[in-house]
Chains A and B, each alone.
Chain A
Amino acid sequence: MTTVFQVIVIGLLLGLIYTLIGAGLTIVLGVLRIVNLAQGILVVIGSFFAFDLFTQWGIDPILAVLIIIPVFFLIGGLAEITLIRRAASDSPDRAMLVLFGLLMLAEAVATIAWTTDSRSIGVGYANGSLTVGGVVIPEAYLIMAGVAVVVLGATELMLYRTLLGKALRAVGQNRQSAEILGINSARMATIVFGLGTALAGVAGAALGVLFPFSIQLDSQWLAYSFIVVLIGGLGGIRSSLVGGLALGLGQAICSQVLPLDVVPVVLYGALAAALVARGGGIGLARERRI
């Protein structure tokens, strides 16, 4: 019975962090209809960023998040203004192709900057744990899930409680109407891209504390973000939470009952099946408006 609780706790904590990856993808997809193929590499770069901040400056990943959010927001916003906007004015699919190009470029540059070696962030709490009623909770999971909750909560408040968030959601529902009503939709697109990128960066910092990482992990994180969106649909943070927790739990359960090398086969098999079942790809993920 303790094992069951153990698996559930790990799955849920992990799921909160997966929610971050999916939320970045969902927000960009929901507001701009663009599938951000660079989401995975942004997560990995987030991990490396946290690694460098920790090893070179001794900045704990919890605090690093405060640096990563503005820096990644700027990177995403600038990419939108300089590269993505023009393609997106043609069609969201062309924007997706541009993002694919950026993904390849980022991968190449990141390989020069950080090599393909695997790293891990050796924070003090990496190996600590709490035991509650026989269930062992790794401290790092607890702390990073806490970071995820705070960041997701702040994003949710921004989307639902502020004028900016309302305008962003209006653009997501009908961009043309929003424009006619005076919303500066170009500015909204910049903000949305910045936000999605910042969420990916935070996810990267959190995952970098939990698992060893290398640049090659980008396709795994991209696939995970797809799974979160396909399960949860396009409904903002709350939908991502459904998808993220389902993925976290699914992965924890599979890891418990299946040989480790079979787990990815099951997860990606589920992803492929979901993509086929959705008839035509992630852009058609259930249309629940943000």
Chain B
Amino acid sequence: MTAHLKLQGVWKRFGGATILQDVSFEVAAGRVLGVIGPNGSGKTTMINVLNGVHRPTKGTITLGDDRIDGGSAHKLIRAGISRTFQNPRVFQSLTLLDNLLMVTEGMGRSGASTQRAHELLDFVGLGELATAVASEVSGGQKKLAEFARALMTSPRLVLMDEPFAGIHPNIKEDLMARIRETCDRDGITYVVVSHEVSELVDLSDEFLCLAEGKVLATGDPREVSADPTVIEAYLGTALGAA
């Protein structure tokens, strides 16, 4: 059950548009890869390819000894890959507890699942809101619930798309601590996409910068975030947008 993630020459095209170009990188088991890059650089698409929402046009992806490119989302979740979303996808009329439980449908005993769901809600600080209907909790709480849900299936790899966007600073620190804890304790591998470079530097073991669908730089978080080409990629879009 190792969780070493490896992408080799991954491409993604939609019609005529090439969104990911020859993306290759590796993340060792139990490490956090921070992914940065300007808007539209393909970060969300990369996550969609990793969890089977989209099939890569070309390239291979392995997790431990398993080939995971081309698998559908419901197969990959069983292979130990789970995720959160840029805009939280919780089921509004279900309780937070049920939002966690639904992903384990068809995966075994419901008694054990309920126990685990309660533990995970406690773990992210939502224990008191277990029976609250999702439409009644805040955006930040939805993001925490999504994180707990991602852990429900005992994943090897967790993909997080903009987990810190729109959540309260206190919750942000908490969430970072929880991510770190599950890495160190359970050996879960993380790919975390974020705009908030300084937070991500603190959290990550390694960094990857995407620009226009290509890997611009990889390596130590501080070095990558100080890399002039990386800064230019950000400034370039900032100037372009201005």
Interface residues of A (CB under 8 A from B): 162-164, 166-167, 169-170, 173-174, 177-184, 187, 289
Contact = CB atoms under 8 A, between A and B. Distances in A.
Interface string B72-101: 011011100011000001011110001101
Contacts of B149: 181
Contact of A182 (B74, B89, B93, B110): B74
Q: DSSP class of A's interface residues: helix, strand, loop or mixed? A: helix
Most buried by A among B77, B93, B102, B104: B102
A182 B103 contact: yes
28 contacts: A163-B102, A163-B105, A163-B110, A163-B113, A166-B94, A166-B102, A167-B105, A169-B91, A169-B93, A170-B102, A173-B91, A173-B93, A173-B94, A174-B91, A178-B91, A179-B73, A179-B74, A180-B51, A180-B53, A180-B83, A181-B73, A181-B89, A181-B102, A182-B76, A182-B78, A182-B153, A183-B102, A184-B74
A177 B105 CA distance: 15
Q: Which 10 A-B pairs have the closest CB atoms?
A: A182-B77, A167-B105, A177-B89, A182-B74, A166-B102, A163-B105, A170-B102, A170-B91, A166-B98, A173-B91
A173 B95 CA distance: 13
Contacts of B78: 182
Contacts of B110: 162-163
Residue from A166, A180, A181 whose CB has the most chain B CB atoms within 10 Å = A181
Contacts of A166: 94, 98, 101-102, 105
Contacts of A173: 91-94
Given A179-B74, A181-B73, 14 more contacts: A163-B105, A163-B113, A166-B102, A167-B105, A170-B102, A174-B89, A177-B89, A180-B53, A180-B89, A182-B78, A182-B103, A182-B153, A183-B102, A184-B74
Contacts of B102: 163, 166-167, 169-170, 178, 181, 183
A79 B242 CA distance: 56
A174 B99 CA distance: 12
Nearest to B93: A289
Interface string B33-50: 000000000000000000
Interface residues of B, number: 26
Contacts of A184: 74, 106
A167 B105 CA distance: 7
Contacts of B98: 166
A166 B93 CA distance: 10
A162 B98 CA distance: 10
Contacts of A180: 51, 53, 73, 83, 89
B61 to A, nearest CB: 17
Contacts of A169: 91, 93-94, 102
Contacts of B51: 180
A289 B94 CA distance: 10
Most central of A167, A180, A187, A289 by chain B CB within 10 Å: A180
Which residue of A177, A182, A183, A184 has the most chain B CB atoms within 10 A of its CB atom?
A182
Contacts of A179: 73-74
B89 A183 contact: no
A177 B91 contact: yes
A170 B105 CA distance: 11
Given A179-B74, A181-B73, A163 B91 contact: no
A184 B106 CA distance: 9
